[in-house]
Amino acid sequence: MRLVIQRVSHASVTINGVCKSAIGRGLMILIGIEEADNKEDAEWLARKAVGLRIFDDENGVMNKSITDTDGNILAISQFTLFASYKKGNRPSYIRAASHEVAIPLYEHFCKQLNELLGKEIGTGEFGADMKVELLNDGPVTICMDSKNKE
């Protein structure tokens, strides 16, 4: 499972011209799921994402987590995070999980975030054509992979 986490001033996701979710200050998380992923991957990444100390403290040092700042989270599924670009110029998405695997894991990941954050997070809609807007604050962008626990 892969995440791209961005610290944002605000973010939103729109589907068919209707805003599905919008947040103020917090984290916008893109989630890619592959066939080999499981609930343990989702739980580990949720804990790591919520625990990231990437918000400024009173001294301007990135020392606070999303829970310390009462921030919000917007979580969006994005199968293209598993694009393979080894051959040619047209990416292959063969590593991305099928809907049968990905949807339950995406929902489990979001449920974990809700519990860890202590409030509802914003979400997109799995498989929809989504328009995502955000203002990256910093910019701060962190990439995580449950198969490469650095």
DSSP 69: T
Active-site position among 6, 78, 112, 123: 78
Active-site position among 6, 14, 67, 80: 80
What is this structure's pTM? 0.95
- The predicted pLDDT at position 87 comes to 85
Per-run averaged pLDDT (10 residues), the chain, 150 residues = 98 98 98 96 98 97 97 96 89 92 97 98 95 97 91
Active site residue 80: yes
Per DSSP, what are the bridge partners of residue 138?
none
Active-site position among 14, 55, 69, 79: 79
Active site residue 14: no
- The predicted pLDDT at position 149 comes to 82
- The predicted pLDDT at position 6 comes to 98
Give 55's contacts (C-beta < 8 A, 6+ positions apart).
7, 62, 63, 64, 65, 66, 68, 69, 71
Active site residue 6: no
